[in-house]
Structure 1
Amino acid sequence: MLQAKSKTGKITTLVSLSKDEIRKARRGEFVCPVCNEPVLVKAGERTVAHFAHRSKLECASNDHGEGPYHEQGKLLLYNWLKQQGIDVELEKYLPEIKQRPDLFVTIKSRKVAIEYQCARVPIEIINRRNTGYMEAGITPIWILGAKHFHRLRQHHFKVDPFTLSFMHRFSADFPLTFYFFCPQTFQFIIIQHVHLISARLALGLFRFISLKDMTFSNMFFQQELHDKWLFELWKKEKMAFRLRQNNRLHGSELAWFNWLYEKGTHKEKLPSIVHLPVRGQHLMKTTLGNWQSRLCLDLLDPLPIGASFTLERSHRILRYQPRQHFSLDRGMDNPIYEYLILLKKLQVIDQIDSHLFKKIKEIHFHKNIESSLSEDARLMNQLIHCSTIV
């Protein structure tokens, strides 16, 4: 922690002191402002001056394994907000919820808790903290340390269950967004319009902004996404989906391949309407190809032309992730509905009302990989064409 209380109750912030003052502070007695237990002064040439508990205690001020990188970033973010004239408090303790955000911002009647997260902690802790903030009417914003940002290509980056739990959406029309900050390069990385390709891979629109050019309001700027851009990128994802070698299958993917075998088909022969992008994919328990193929083979393919089906029937076939796994997502995505709307654009089904659909075209299975790749490209071009029609 960057702050502690003296015997007289005065709050001391070590990083604001000179080296001589820090040396004097080492001889003083300080306590944690949250639990009132004794703390030690920690300072060195390569360490941001801070306080630490004398013993490991369960305290809201514990940083769960955070280190100098975190302390440096937190201090930079604090000064960055302060320089903009924003009412910000460092490590403010909130007794009503027994939590202490890294930064606490007040803008008129709006209260925001900003957490700078560098260490990996159980997702349950993140969700529990978010629940506490939200129940107190506080908006949580989590900025990840840039060490968690792993870019693979121009628009592709690695994800995992931990990083996905920090995906923000402040309202239904706000894009899925990640925030990263590097205290060594003084740079923000903001990723918006996140679409999951697999459990470990996603694509999105990246913005790299230096600390000196970044403002707090920039965090809420929405980059515009054109469907044409997404579908153009997805042409390559469709090809990768067909050609990817699956040598080490396990869990749900192994079960899916076995299920395809029992159905008398294989991934290469699946209809081209399988493995299409949907914004709410993070809410599904299985991959795009897995659940979309089940919807096609178990629901759509057996239906005769002209037969209708409900959205609820589609839901019964598939499985969702519990929404509380994504406590920062305030949207109302329905990935199954999103997929059905894509099928409507492709004139495979028609929509009768908000919950009722009708099959208007047969589901076509491929006989070989050449046919699959050719039809995949044609279908994606059809979606690109649809997206350019105003």
Structure 2
Amino acid sequence: MTARPTIYLGTWFGVQLRLDWYVVVLIGLLFVFSLEDASRSRAGTWVAVAHLVLLCVLLFCIFLHEVGHAAMARLRGHRPTMIMLSFVGLTFFEARKAKPIDETLIALAGPAMNFIIGLLLLPFAILVLAARGQDPLFSQASIATWKGFLAALSLLNFIVAVGNLMPLWPADGARAVRGFFANRRGFVEGTLRAVRVSHGLWLIAAGLSVGMLALRSWILKLAGAENDPAASPLSMFMIYQFAVLFLAAMGIYYGWAEARRVRRLGDAAREVVGPPPEFMPRAARPEKSAVVNAEVVSGGREPSPAPGASLGEKVQAAKTAATALWGVAKLTGKGAGWFAKQGIKLAGEAMKDKEDKK
């Protein structure tokens, strides 16, 4: 994650906004596949342009999803620092006086935004479903109409919300699974088990997507959508299998990176509430502290370094050492020569320690 390419979009209310280049690539790929279907359909290439606009609006909805995370983090007393619009979106913040319930509340605030958007647009989905003689819901031809566009946006917001609750890393549901295992087997083992569950589900999803894409022509022909794919929601479903493969690859990488981080840091890794700083682009990382310090979490500010000993304390320590050595010399019958020899020895060790520190 250290070389993660992002586009800086500005800073609002003290929070950086960055766009992941991977999302731009993914949207571009979906648009190309959409154009290919549209070129073989009666509706023309306009429907592919409408699909591209839909993807851009969906990206804005994912931004609102991350705003939900950031707002809840601020309500819980933490300080949001950056929102990265990635393939699921990531909100980074500095944890202050973190409580066990905080991660759950912050995680749920994002999907709640998508549920609200989906519910507000749900009447348009009902209108499209109830209409007769029109292109079916979630087909490219339907998206080219304003009612079909809003209906598809409603459906996609529900998919984003439910998908975030799935135990697929780095979605919010994976953190809930980690909490379940961590309560029984500790944080490290809980993380490793949650990552294994996530990897298994991602591999199953990727396998199904590969199978459907391999049989894509046969499936479309069987459904009667081969000659006019833009009029069939099945064609859109097939296009989004490329997105599933992309997400599976990124999800497996995120899970692997989190497992590696937790193995390295042990239980100290649990002090981070939200995405770990290691997942942040290098250019946006804070200068110090890759992991939130436990004292920062409990106190809300960096612990100040312990002050060095004052000159008076050093003089008093030297007098105490000299008195102790003189007492030993008197009790053992050793003379001033022994005393001087021990003093020189102690001074030499002190000088050596000083040089080592330099």
Q: Which TM-score band (shorter chain)? A: under 0.3
Structure number with larger C-alpha Rg = 2
Q: Which protein is richer in strand relative to its size?
A: 1
Q: Which protein is richer in helix relative to its size?
A: 2
TM-score by length of 1: 0.24
TM-score by length of 2: 0.25
